[in-house]
Amino acid sequence: MFKIGLIGYGYWGPNLARNFNVNPDIQLSAICDFSESRLELACRFFPQAETGKDTEKIFKNKDIDAVAIATPVSTHYDLAKQALLADKHVWLEKPMTETVQQAEELIELAQKKNKVLFVDHTFVYTGAVRKIKELVDKNELGDIVYFDSTRVNLGLFQQDINVIWDLAPHDISIMDYLIPLKKLSVSATGLKYKGNGINPKSMLTIDMENYVVAHINVSWLSPVKIRQTLIGGSRKMILYDDNHPDEKVKVYDKGVHIYETKEDLYRLNVQYRVGDMYVPKLNNQEALAVEAQHFADCVIKGEKPLTGGQAGLEVVKILTAANQSLKQRGAPVEITN
């Protein structure tokens, strides 16, 4: 068992605290937040944890082995760096950092200190995404052709980040996990709400090697909440609907075969294949519980993080390129590697 301190008890922090608290390999020892009311709630639910507003106490506490950071992205780099310098393992919320350089520095520092740098890409640990990964790895879909996702709702306008940085990291992390191909470029377009610079709706196009393309649609301005992803393969296709209570993943035996006729190379012969659809059984364990246990195994047993610093860096690279493209009205921006 190891002891962990949590910095940030706002929107996501309580979920982390709850899962850390019930994990037999983790002892929630400290919670830090700037809000008195949030600290009062933390004391009520986790009386064993020391609470306060001073992050330095967590960093200087030699009994604490790891630090979880659930604060705004603008604070991630400084807090994670302090934790690593204090010889703590780090659990870091998404997006990992504001810049590529910051992410690379944290990865290098974690390696130097021989500490776990873990990025909370929660959806990677859901039963649905893990099942899709299993199907992809078994080549049941054939060659992946495209990844199309829609993540929209009538959401809260964030003060420090645009909609791309708020919502797209979920889909980018899923895409990168399922399709570990080299990302070549990003094109992003979006709406500037009433000309004030806030970007509440965007569409990203991500070009990958092997001619694979991804489209990610994110919005805070939708009257309905949609969480859908389509993954097209040369053999089968998948619909992943995170809002569906029972049938989150559907596998369709559908596809298209395109042949050039010998008689006329400019004419295409298109054949459609329509087969059965089935719904695979999923593991319904809470994703955060699975993720917390994996983090514990990384700290205690030395396992390699499924969503470590490199996974976080790949997401930040795409987000950064998307921001540049947005400023250039959708001009493609190459992704640095």
Is the model's pLDDT at 292 over the cut of 60? yes
Say whether 146 sits in a helix, a strand or coil. Answer: strand
Burial 227-260 (b: 16+ CB within 10 A, else e): bbbbbbbeebbbbbbbeeeeebbebbeebeeeee
Q: What pLDDT, in 10s, does the model give residues 194-219?
A: 656 678 999 999 999 999 999 999 99
Which among 175, 176, 121, 133 has a CA at the least distance from the CA of 291? 121
267 or 248, which is more confident = 248
Task: Count Cβ atoms below 10 Å from residue 267 Cβ, excluding itself.
Answer: 9
- Residue in 130, 187, 133, 140 with CA at minimum distance from that of residue 164: 187
* DSSP tag of 332: -
Please, which pLDDT band fits residue 113 given cuts at 50, 70 and 90? very high
Model pTM? 0.92
Q: Using an 8 Å Cβ cutoff, are 216 and 206 in contact?
A: yes
Residue 99 pLDDT > 90: yes
Pairing status of strand 50-52 against strand 26-32: parallel
**pLDDT tens by residue, 119-152:** 999 999 999 999 999 999 999 999 999 999 999 9
* pLDDT, position 192: 77
- How far, in Å, CA of 266 to CA of 260, rounded? 7
Question: For residue 300, what are the CA distances in angstroms to 60, 90, 105, 337?
Answer: 21, 13, 24, 31
Instruction: Please tell me the CATH code under which domain 124-280+317-334 is placed.
Output: 3.30.360.10
CB atoms within 10 A of CB 85: 13
Count of residues making up the chain: 337
Q: What average pLDDT score do residues 57-76 get?
A: 96
Domain ranges of the chain: 2-115, 124-280+317-334
Q: Which CATH class is domain 2-115?
A: alpha beta
Residue 242, pLDDT > 80, answer: yes
DSSP notation for 159-210: SSS-HHHHHHHHHHHHHHHH--PPEEEEEEEEE-GGGSS---EEEEEEEEGG
The residue type at 52: G
Type of residue found at 208: M
Evaluate whether 124 touches 177 at the Cβ level (below 8 Å). yes
Q: Strand, helix or coil at 104?
A: helix
